[in-house]
Each structure stands twice: as structure tokens, then as C-alpha cells.
Structure 1
């Protein structure tokens, strides 16, 4: 029995080693004779639109940097990753890459030299892109002005940045899409919406929970965004045209009848979704309406905050908030979003509401709403912040949970 167990153990180790070796060195062969990608006006226009859909500049542009030249710091639980240079510079960007190399990065998660790319680059979503879309996106990027810039080296804790760690991660979490999947037509609105949400839009990067090792999920049920502090809400939409159109309005303008976008989502609206064709936004909404609604956690009704806390919160609200948001949280149409019935106010966690109060609320300036009103930050103690949040979450018919001073302290310590 001992010999059998030892033999099985050796076989398991050898099998795992073979799988890791396949991931490390078994990438798909690339043809050096692949036809050149057309760079006609129609292809370039299509590629530019795809870059907007995928929000390429959002991650591949450093704060104050040249668009698409990379260098933006992306904080993860495993260290900091810096985005790469997507301009056609031959030494520091994509200038030496072929369309086949680019397809390998998007579809297989491998660099031009065959190395395994870090999953901070969402190849787990981009693997669903069609080859035609990959080629059009490549043509667009290669038409941009080259910028010679080398982003800083990644600052990941050992062993997360090693190729062996990437191979092990891929064994657990990544399988490239099959050709018949990534090339399937998307003429039906729901199919098109799924392609946009799960592929180009890579919405799961923020709106799906991740495992302790950063493994992605295809369930858009929301969760805390690693390294950001924000909580991304579930993306399932209620049925009916009203819910769909409200969502379309929010992503086109940054505002809707019930609230506005802030934080990371405001950036997405600014750089990406305001530029989507309305038909694509409606297709994405149609797909999101097919997702099962996320049931609230089983719990007893939220306990009311102590009367003294609600009284303190009401005084703070009257002093700092009522002039814009109204005595009953009704807001002012076209200017200040309502707080009564606002989804951010009623989320399971109040962390987003706290971040908006503490750091200010700034909706994006969009083509459809070029001059949004902003909200200045409030410098409140943890006790005052907890009281204000509790009052807003338990007024005007709201039954959300109260917020404790300890919760505010914990959330603030993450920033």
C-alpha cells in the first residue's frame, strides 16, 4: 500500500508538472505569414469604437500621461501592476507586434515572446473577442502616434509575479474561448449584449467577486473592488423597458432619475460608455435583464439606529446636505440627485456613500450632460459620519442598516 501511495503521489506530481509545463511553454503556434490587417477608414473607425467599448485608455493612460502610453498604477491585493504602452513605438510599445501577436495577447493571454501575461490584464474576458474585432482594434492602435515610454516595473510580492505562479493560476481559472465561440455571430440583442458585457466591456473585472487568489467569476453579483475600496453593485436589471432605459441614461449621461455615478464608475462613463452607440447600450441592458436577480442576504429587518444618533444625523444633514438634496431627500431635477430611493444609499454596505461624502461626489462631464454639479467633500469625524449615514439610510421610508463608528473607521483605514 505504501508503494502504491508513493507511486500515485509521484504520478500526481509528474502530471501537475506536465500541466504547468504546457502552460509555460505550450502556447499556440503563430504564423509568420499571416495576412496584413487592413487599415482602411472603415476598419480604423471600427477599431476606434472598439477601443471605446473596451475602455483601453482608461487603464493604459497614467494620470496626466499621454493617452495609451501606459504607466497607470493598478493596485491589487498582491502588489501594484503598471499598465503597458499600447502606442506603436517599436521599443517600448506595440510597434514590433504583429496582428497575430496582438491576438495572442487578447485571446490566449500571452505576450509577443510567449510569456504569460498577468491577469490584471483582463484576457479572461477578451478571449471572447472575435478575430475580426481583434484585428480592427490592432489597426486602430497601430495608427496612433508612437510614444517612447517604458512604464515602471511591476511591484508584486513574491511569488505572484513569476511565470510559474501565472501558469498555476491559469490552470485554475483560465481556458481560452473555443474558435467557434469567439467567432459566433451576435445579431440577437441579448447575444450582442452578452458579448459586450462579458467580452469587450469586461464588466466582471469590477462587478464579479474574486477568489483569494484573484480568480475571476462569471457571476455579476457585485462585490468589493480590490485595491479601490469601492463596492461594485450587482448588474442584474429589473425587467421592463423603464429599468432598461434608466440604465441606458445612467451610462450615457452619468446621471439618472435616481442618482449619479461616482468614483471608478464615473471614469468608465467618462472614457467609455457615454461613447457607446445607444443600440449597444440597449443590447447590454437586454442581456443584464436575463440575469437572475441577486437575493438580499437572509437577515432580520435592520435595527433602527438609536434615537440620539438619528437626531445627530438629522442636524448634520440639515446643515450640510438639505440645501441641495432637499429636506426630504428629493434632490433637484437636472442638478442634484435625490437621496430618497437612491440605489447608492440603499446598497447592502454604506461604503460607497461614505466615500462620496468624505471625498466628494463628482459625476462625469458627458456629451449629454456637459456641466454636472459636483459635491464638495465633508470633513467629519467618524462618529458624525456614522450618524449622518445612518440618518440617510433610515429616513424617507428607507430600511437600510445603520452604520457604526467602528465601520466608518474600518472603511477609512482602507483608503
Structure 2
């Protein structure tokens, strides 16, 4: 054997060894903290108190939002969850034996939440946020399972996921998990009081706030160094603002009662929720009991603040701002006030953080497509924002938003007509 062939042989052996070692490491990392399932699994509890506890967790965790298709039965799945890699259809959580959880055991359900594996051992797609649910306690997992097994069974199999190779392969999932997932435990800090730890558990595990408010890298992994600093939701229509930036959605400077009102009712003197967050409040957070609401608010207000570096503000030309002022007077002032102060329960626009976010997309969505605050016990008759897509041109909508973002002390960059056009297309 020549020296050249010997070198090639050694390089091939080394590459094979690296591949084998890598595969072994991926396999090991995918089985961390995973105990074998018992031969005889545990049936769900029928204790009414346990079932009610599970119902509470399911509400606060907003399970119904992802596991209910429009016009379909609650919790029966088949909702298309859009991801950068294609559509993933949510699973049926009702106790149907063939298409739902009817044959599952408590241990199999716990493994799905804690380790991200289905009943047959398949790796689950992280569109199901087991990266957060892994921090749930086994007691709460069992309560959730008891509740889900108590709801009416619905026979409905979800459609096949619409993912291209390699995103649709178990091998790619195994590699993704090796990079971005480790089984967790409930967050706990001995130096903090019980209420803080309870709030951390609610924010991190039950409500899984990081799933929307933490940015992801190109492979869909959560960027831990940017925890809760704001992220675009799939599809690019909505931006989930930073929970640690006073200029975005931080609650650190808000009075506790105002922060609690925002989470429980969707409205407060300092602001209101809209878009996907309105659904989170409507289907989930409004059901928080008083103690958990206070704990969640306390934890969110105590988060270390990390203001982002903002781009310089670029104002629109005077002619555009003048046109925006005219459009505002004709279409907006009746509800929002001549000086953006808000009237008759309609939100103020002056000094409102949602108006001056560096990214204007949420504001654009509301103007183009309209929307409502959530109907809650604290806000039973919410005011709505009508869509202006059919009334105003792209140029007029860009002008009025540019005016609003620069009037009454607001300081934010102009909106251009292309931003409006993109919002129409994304619909």
C-alpha cells in the first residue's frame, strides 16, 4: 500500500470513528433522564380534585389554543401550527382510543411532557413546547392527564405534517435535541421567596412564555442568551415583544395592580393586549387564581432588565406627516382622541409602547386587519379596531401610522407603504 493510499485509509477510518462517536453521543443525549416505562402503566386519577387541578393547568397553559382547529371540537387537535420548516398539525388530546389519548398511561404522558417522546417512542416536534413542559412536576403532569382523560372523546386523526426532508426525519430531530434540549426540572432558587419560585414555575413551565418571547436560531433552537428578549412569531406577521426591555413589554416599572390587570383582563391604564397575546389572555391567563396571578406578576416584574440597542429614529417627510394628520383627524380621532389620549374606553395612543415599538408590524396588522382586545371577566365588552384595508390606500395607512408614531411625544421611525403591502399579503 502506497503512502498516499495509507493516508486516505487512515482519514476514512478517522471520519468513520467521528461519525460513530457522534451518533453515539446523539443517542446518549436523547436518552438523558429517561427511565424505562413500567410494564403496567398507571391509569389516570378520577379524583375530582385532581381532575379540577388538571383543568386549571390546561386553561392557564392555553392547551386549547393549539389543540383545537377552527370550528372543530375542543382539544381534538388538527390545527396547523406554522413553523419555518412547514406546517405541523397538533395532536388529539381527547381520550379517543384510536386517535387520541385513550390508550395512553400516565407514564407515557409524563414522558411526552418531560422527554418529548410519543407513546410509541417517536421523537416529538418541538412545536409542541416540551422544551418548557419538561419543567413541569410529575404531580401536575398526572393532573393534566386526569383532566384530558375526562373530557368527551372525539375521533379525529390530524393530517400528516407538511414538512420537507430532512425536517421530517427522526434523525434530524435527534440531532436537534442533542443540540438544544435537555430534560429539566421545576425552576427553583433557594435564595428567593416561595412566591418568586411559584411565579418562575408559571412563566417558565406552565405558561411557557419563552416559546413566543425568546428568539430562535436558524435551526429553530431557543437562543438562551437572548431569553425573553422578544421574537417574531412564525409567519412574520406578529412580534412578541421583549419582556425585559422597558421600551417594549417589560412590567418592571408598572404598579403590580396594573400588571395584574393586563394579564387577567387584557387591558389596563398603561396598555392592552392584541393579536396572539389577546388569545393567550382570553383562553388562558384570565383563569389564573389570585395567588398565581400575583406570583406571575411578581416574577415578571423582578426579571433583570436588558434594554436593546435601538436603531436611530427616521421620521417621515413633512408632507407625509401632514397627510397622516389629516387621515387621523378623519378616521381615528373620534375614538382615540384628537391628541391620542383615548376616548370612551378606546386605548390611548400617546405614550403607548405598542405604538412606538421599533418594529411597527403589530401596529400595521391592527390597522390593516383590525382586531379586538380579549373578552374577559374584567373586560366583558371589549372595544374593537375595525380593519382599514378596504378604506385606506397603502400610502394613507403608512402616513397615518408615521404620524401617530411621531405625534404627542411619541418617537419612532416612519412606516412605509411596502410595510402595509406586506401585511396585506401575509393575510
TM-score by length of 1: 0.93
Mapped partners of 2:83, 2:397: distance in 1: 27
Cα separation, 2, equivalents of 1:22 and 1:281:
39
**Over residues 13-50 of structure 1, what are the superposed CA-to-partner deviations in whole Å (9 max), with x where a residue is unaligned?**
11112234446788541113454443211111111101
Q: Tell me the residue number matched to 1:351.
A: 361
Residues in 1 aligned to 2:17 and 2:199: alpha-carbon distance in whole angstroms: 45
Compare 259-268 and 77-86 and name the one that shifted more.
259-268
> 213, 233, 242: which one pairs with 2:241?
233
Q: 1:150 to 1:298 in 2, by over 3 A?
A: closer
| In 2: Cα distance, 1:337 partner to 1:63 partner | 29
Per the alignment, residue 53 of structure 1 pairs with 60
Structure 1 residue 324 corresponds to structure 2 residue 344: no
Assess, with a 3 A threshold, how the Cα gap between structure 1 residues 17 and 373 changes in structure 2: closer, same or farther: same
Whether 1:67 and 2:74 are equivalent positions in the alignment is: yes
**Contact 1:104–1:110 at 8 Å: present in 2 too?**
yes
Counterpart among 291, 299, 308 of residue 296 in structure 1: 308
Which deviates further from its counterpart, 31-40 or 139-148? Answer: 31-40
Kept in 2: contact 1:127–1:182 (CA 8 A): no
CA contact (8 A) 1:86 1:141 kept: yes
Q: 1:286 aligns with which of 289, 292, 298?
A: 298
1:369 pairs, out of 363, 379, 382, with 379
**1:208 partnered with 2:214:** yes
Partners of 2:302 and 2:31 lie apart in 1 by 40
After superposing the two structures, state which structure 1 stretch, 183-192 or 206-215, moved more. Answer: 183-192
Q: 1:217 and 1:287, CA in 2 relative to 1: closer, same or farther beyond 3 A?
A: farther
Decide whether the 8 Å contact of 1:131 with 1:182 is kept in 2: no
Superposed displacement of residue 411, structure 1: 4.2
1:407 and 2:415 matched: no
Structure-1 separation of matches of 2:354 and 2:399: 17
Query: Pairwise CA RMSD of aligned residues?
Result: 2.2
Q: Secondary structure at the match of 1:289?
A: helix
Are the structure 2 counterparts of residues 279 and 225 from structure 1 closer, same or farther at C-alpha, using a change threshold of 3 Å? same
Preserved CA contact (<8 Å) 1:252 1:368: yes
- Secondary structure in 1 matching 2:98: coil
CA distance in 2: counterparts of 1:282 and 1:273, whole angstroms: 12
Q: Does 1:272 find its partner at 2:284?
A: yes
Calculate the TM-score normalised by the size of structure 2: 0.91
The aligned residue for residue 172 of structure 2 is 165
Measure how far apart 1:174 and its partner are. 0.3
CA-CA distance at 1:184 after TM superposition: 9.1
Q: Is the 8 A contact 2:88 2:162 kept in 1?
A: yes
Asked if the contact 1:329/1:396 (under 8 Å) is kept, the reply is yes
Name the SS of the counterpart of 2:388 in structure 1. coil
Alignment of structure 1 residues 11-410 onto 2, 5 Å: 11-22=17-28, 28-178=35-185, 181=186, 188-218=194-224, 219-227=227-235, 229-236=237-244, 237-239=250-252, 242-300=254-312, 302-332=313-343, 335-379=345-389, 380-410=392-422
Any gaps of 5 or more consecutive residues in structure 2? 1-6, 245-249
Q: How far 1:381 moved relative to its partner?
A: 2.0
Cα-to-partner distance string for 1:168-217 (whole Å, 9 max, x where unaligned): 11011101115xx5799997111111111111101111111011111123
